[in-house]
Amino acid sequence: MNQTEIFNLALSAMGTRNRVSSPTEASTEARECLLWFDVVRKQVLCAAPFQEATGNSRLAVAAERGGADWVATDPDPGWRFSYSTPADMLRPRHLATFESFILSTSSLNEKRLTTNTENAILTYTKDQPNIDMWSGALVNAMAYGLAAAICMKLGGKMDRVQLVAQQANNLLMAARTYSGNVDDYQLESLPPWLAARGVPTAQSTRYIYPYGALFATAGSLE
């Protein structure tokens, strides 16, 4: 599988008979596919936890809250540690401890992950431009997502745009479900009415960062 093949899968999904022989050929189809390819790739990777785009990193401390009075170089108010994020990170997923965190921006306009967790290790979605590493699920989601992005420009009608966008979303939701079944995170927390009665539990709330946006459809715009 290569970029040309994904372009042609997208063109086929949107219902046109036109095909490309190279990503850089002088055709409207190739230009539009190439224009949107990286944008759609990053959206697809952020929207579901594909294994081939999974990274793990022990984070480097950028700042730690010291004194009682907050200063501008401290982590965001209410948090103890601020960490630098991995250079290839598209979207965080969860810490090794599953504790809460936020993404913020430092006073130097650098992206930071802010948490109360010491020695934080992050599982995240990394940029994965190497198509040879992509699974069939990622290829299919990418093809339909690209079709949704280029369909109107290449003369497609709105009902076809909606169809390919919904198919891309269906594939992304399937990838989320698959990951949820494979990764035994046990996200359940004890209901408050049971906790109030002192019922013991070995489970605890585990924080997982929200997935990225799906593709816009008519229903999502209402």
pLDDT surpasses 90 at 217:
no
Question: What pLDDT is recorded for position 206?
Answer: 85
Q: What is the pLDDT of residues 150-194, one digit of tens each?
A: 999 998 889 999 999 999 999 999 999 987 766 655 544 445 554
Q: What is the pLDDT of residues 108-158, one digit of tens each?
A: 889 999 999 999 999 999 999 999 999 999 999 999 999 999 999 998 889
Domain co-membership, 141 together with 121 = no
As a whole number, mean pLDDT of residues 63-84 equals 89
What's this model's pTM, rounded to 2 decimal places?
Answer: 0.86
Domain co-membership, 39 together with 135 = yes
Mean per-residue pLDDT over the chain, rounded: 89
Residue 64 forms part of a structural domain: yes
Domain co-membership, 31 together with 140 = yes
Domain co-membership, 87 together with 145 = no
Question: What pLDDT is recorded for position 219?
Answer: 54
174 is in which domain, residue-wise?
Answer: 3-50+129-200
Residue 211 forms part of a structural domain: no
Domain co-membership, 102 together with 167 = no
Residue of higher predicted confidence among 197 and 1: 1
Residue 215 forms part of a structural domain: no
Evaluate whether 10 touches 33 at the Cβ level (below 8 Å): yes
Domain co-membership, 29 together with 137 = yes
pLDDT surpasses 80 at 220:
no
Question: What pLDDT is recorded for position 182?
Answer: 64
* Residue 175 CA: distances (Å) to CA of 18, 55, 170, 178: 29, 17, 9, 5
Alpha-carbon distance of 3 to 22, in angstroms, equals 8
| Structural domains in the chain (count) | 2
Q: What is the pLDDT of residues 85-107, one digit of tens each?
A: 999 999 999 999 999 999 998 87
Domain co-membership, 17 together with 66 = no
Domain co-membership, 45 together with 148 = yes
> If DSSP states are collapsed to H, E and C, what string results for 14-34?
CCCCCCCCCCCCCCHHHHHHH
Domain co-membership, 135 together with 111 = no
Out of 87, 111, 126, pick the residue that ends a domain: 126
Domain co-membership, 63 together with 121 = yes
